[in-house]
Structure 1
Amino acid sequence: MTTFDERERAFEKKFEHDQELQFKANARRNKMLGLWAAGLMGKTGADAEAYAKELVVADMEKPGHHDVVEKLVKDLAAAGKPTEDHTIRKQSERLLVDAKAQIMNETR
C-alpha cells in the first residue's frame, strides 16, 4: 500500500467518523428540541419523552431540518402556543451547540 493510499483511507475514515458524529448531534438536538417543545405544550414525563422521540423519527423520515421545524410550528399552534419558525430555528441552533458538546465529552 502506498503512502497516497494510506492518506486516502485515513481521510475516508475521518469523513465517516465526522458524519457519524454529526448524525448523533442532530438526533440529540432534535430530542432536546422535542423536550423543549413538549415543556411549552405542558407535556411531562413519558409524554414529553414520547414527543421528543417522535421528533427524532420525523427528522429521519425526510432529509433536512425543515420538516422538524414545520412539525413544531404546527404542533405548538395546535396546543395554543403559537411559535414562529425563526424562534424554533434559533432554539435549534442553541441546542445543536449543546448536543455537540455533550457528544464530544462522551467520546473522550
Structure 2
Amino acid sequence: MFAILQPCFWLFQGNISKLRFFNSCILEQWCPDQEDANNDTVKRGIIMGLRQRGKALENLYFHEEELSFRLHGMRSRLMGLWAASLMHKDDANSYASEIVAASIGREGDDAMFNKLHDDFVAAGVGVTDDVIHDQMTNLLRCAADELRNGIAQFDDKRAA
C-alpha cells in the first residue's frame, strides 16, 4: 500500500487532505464497503498481503538461482568427464572437479571453456571451439532433464 502511495506523494505536494482523498480512493477500489475501508485491520491486511507477495517473489528468485547454480555445476562436471574421456585421463573424477572449480566464479562458462581449450591443446586432442560449445549446450540440456526428472545422482555415462 505504502509502495503505491509513496511515488504519488509528490503529486500532492505535501497536501495531506488530497493525499487522504487519494488513499481513500485506493482503499475503496480494494474494499468497496466504506466502513471496511476506514478499518485499520483492512489496511494492515493489505499491507501484509503485499509483504507476503514480496517475500514469495524473493523466495522464488532464490530458488531459481539455486537451481541455476546446481544445473551449471552438473553441466561442468559432465563436461569434465567428457573431456577426460577424450584426453584419456586416468582419474576422470578429479579432472571433473578441476573443471567445476574453474567454472565457479564471475567468468563461469568462459573460464571453463578456456581451461578445456588449453587442456585439449596441451594434450594434443583436436577438438574445435564449436565442438566444445555444442557439447556445453548439449550437456546443459542433459543436466536440465536430469534435474527436472528429480534425479539427484545423475548418470556419469551420459558424458562419455
Asked if these proteins are the same fold (TM beyond 0.5), I'd say yes
The reply on whether 1:56 has 2:56 as its aligned counterpart is no
- Determine the C-alpha separation between the residues in 2 that align with 1:79 and 1:28: 24
> Which residue, 9, 19, 25 being the options, matches 2:55?
9
The residue aligned with 1:71 is 115
The residue aligned with 1:27 is 73
Runs of 5+ unmatched residues, structure 2? 1-46, 152-160
Q: Per-residue displacement from partner, 1:5-55 (whole Å, max 9, x unpaired)?
A: 1111111101100000000000000000000000100124xx111100100
Quick one: higher RCO (CA 8 Å, sep 6+), 1 or 2?
1
Greater mean alpha carbon deviation, residues 63-72 or residues 28-37: 63-72
Runs of 4 or more, structure 1, over 4 Å off, are: none
The residue aligned with 1:39 is 85
Runs of 5+ unmatched residues, structure 1? none
**Greater Cα radius of gyration, structure 1 or 2:** 2
Shift of 1:87: 1.4
Assess, with a 3 A threshold, how the Cα gap between structure 1 residues 8 and 61 changes in structure 2: closer, same or farther: closer
Shift of 1:102: 1.0
Higher helix fraction (1 or 2): 1
Greater mean alpha carbon deviation, residues 77-86 or residues 26-35: 77-86
The residue aligned with 2:158 is none
The reply on whether 1:88 has 2:132 as its aligned counterpart is yes
Aligned residues: 106
Contact 2:102 2:108 in 1 (8 A): no
Assess, with a 3 A threshold, how the Cα gap between structure 1 residues 18 and 61 changes in structure 2: closer, same or farther: closer
Contact 1:73 1:82 in 2 (8 A): no
- Determine the C-alpha separation between the residues in 2 that align with 1:63 and 1:9: 30
- Determine the C-alpha separation between the residues in 1 that align with 2:106 and 2:115: 12
Give identity over the alignment, percent: 35
TM-score by structure 2 length? 0.62
